[in-house]
Amino acid sequence: MRGVGETGLDFFRTGPEGVAAQERSFRAHIEIAKRHGKALVIHDREAHADVLRVLDEEGAPERTVFHCYSGDAEMAEICAAKGYYMSFAGNVTFKNAQPLRDALAVAPWSWSSSRPTPLPHPGALPGPPQRPYLIPVTVRAMAEVRGIGENELAEAIAVNTARAFDY
Ligand SMILES: [Zn+2]
């Protein structure tokens, strides 16, 4: 097992009881990830501030990954400062996803420091069915946002995925 999750908070169409239950299980998953030294894989939908708050309150695991990152640039700077990984998915290519591309533009990138460095890596496209053959489309779009080559980005993705999941 490489990680605990996906876990986190999803407030889309969720009532107050659901919110409380999600927060309880999110806290428990954080504790399990830390106890076993595993990456914590976070699902965050319409719950950015609360996800960050619970991570602060519990103390985030050393390797914390926002899968299908959906925050804005301001949140990306917070995640970067805290050393969280941000995983960008196919929705970064959507026309209406400029705030997401702005976040991608400020996500840190260098992988030479000793401390885990948050780097973008593409996950699967949102929603079933998953279409892994489209990952190059995402990578190309991400490389364009960052103004770097596809190969350079692919290398960063490989290095950082290995670092995030400890293999
Ligand atoms: Zn998810």
pLDDT confidence of residue 10: 97
Rounded to the nearest whole angstrom, what is the distance from the C-alpha of residue 63 to the centroid of ligand 1?
Answer: 17
- Those residues whose C-beta lies under 8 Å from the C-beta of residue 78, and which sit 6 or more positions away, are 52
Separation of alpha carbons 99 and 161, rounded Å: 23
Of the listed ranges 91-100, 121-130, 148-157, the one predicted with least confidence:
121-130
- Percent of the chain past pLDDT 70, that is, above it, reads 87
- 153 CB burial (10 A radius; 0-12, 13-18, 19+): buried
Rounded to the nearest whole angstrom, what is the distance from the C-alpha of residue 167 to the centroid of ligand 1?
Answer: 22
Separation of alpha carbons 40 and 72, rounded Å: 21
Rounded to the nearest whole angstrom, what is the distance from the C-alpha of residue 66 to the centroid of ligand 1?
Answer: 9
pLDDT confidence of residue 124: 43
| Residue 132 predicted with pLDDT over 80 | no
The tens digit of pLDDT for each residue in 74-117 reads: 999 999 999 999 998 888 889 999 999 999 999 887 544 333 34
pLDDT confidence of residue 20: 96
Query: Torsion over CA of 139, 68, 73 and 95, rounded to 10 degrees?
Result: 60
Q: Are 40 and 60 in contact (CB under 8 A)?
A: yes
The tens digit of pLDDT for each residue in 4-41 reads: 999 999 999 999 999 999 999 999 999 999 999 999 99
Angle at which helices 135-146 and 98-106 cross, to 10°: 70
pLDDT confidence of residue 122: 52
Rounded to the nearest whole angstrom, what is the distance from the C-alpha of residue 65 to the centroid of ligand 1?
Answer: 11
Residues less than 5 Å from ion ligand 1, measured at CB: 6, 43
Record the pTM.
0.86
Rounded to the nearest whole angstrom, what is the distance from the C-alpha of residue 49 to the centroid of ligand 1?
Answer: 17
